[in-house]
Amino acid sequence: MKNSLCFNKIAAAVIVGLGLAWIVGAISGVIVHPTMPEKNAYVVDTGAQPQAGNVPAAPAGPAPIAPLLAAASADAGAKSAKVCGSCHSFGKGEAAKMGPNLYGIIGSKHAHMAGFSYSDGMQKLADKPWTFDALNEFLYSPKNAVAGTKMTFAGIKNDADRANVIAWLRTLSDSPVALPK
């Protein structure tokens, strides 16, 4: 007899609890009228193209670097490039870190640092120099510029920031390459 009453009490408690939750939910829905925004406050870039509408297409790649370099600041580039210092060294003759040393990178070959283990994609470009345009493409999207690169950095999408970093990298040389015209 005790067991049957215990089960009835548990069942009644569950039913009363669910009923109270339903009643509180209904009352709160009447008191508070939430309005959802028409569009998200923060849009996450998934890389997917918009399905429809009048949304302009994003540019396929970075803006041309020559006009941007004319207004670029090497000092601002040095500040922006601090995040690069976790993987790269910049001083003349310094050892590589996770990435190669970038001293004298502009004008050097893609796989310029002897003894560094470059990806197969970078080794395929080993005979090509790092021009301003090539560096612009790579810094915009490393994975798109060099297939199979080991560099996991997503890229610098802001044109001015990218130009500033390139202007600063240009100064890291015994004889800096002339700016493009």
Give the pLDDT confidence of 26-39 residue by residue, as tens digits: 888 888 877 777 77
Biggest alpha carbon–alpha carbon distance for the chain: 97
More confident residue, 50 or 138: 138
CB-facing half-sphere around the CA of 109: CA atoms within 13 A: 12
CA nearest neighbour of 139 among 151, 127, 123: 151
| H helices present in the chain, as ranges | 2-31, 65-70, 74-80, 120-124, 132-140, 142-145, 159-171
Tokens 């999408």 — which residue? 157
Q: What do you get for the CA distance between the two ends of the chain, in Å?
A: 97
Q: Identify residue 3 by its one-letter amino acid code.
A: N
Q: What confidence score (pLDDT) does residue 52 get?
A: 56
Q: What is the pLDDT of residues 136-153, one digit of tens each?
A: 999 999 999 999 999 989
Please check the confidence at residue 102 and state whether its pLDDT lies above 70: yes
Tokens 């610098």 — which residue? 156
Q: What confidence score (pLDDT) does residue 48 get?
A: 60
Tokens 């090539």 — which residue? 134
Residue 129's φ and ψ, nearest 5 degrees, are -80, 155
- Least trusted range by pLDDT, from 53-62, 80-89, 119-128, 142-151: 53-62
Question: Which residues on adjacent β-strands are paired with residue 159?
Answer: none
Residue 110: both structure tokens together: 């893609």
More confident residue, 52 or 140: 140
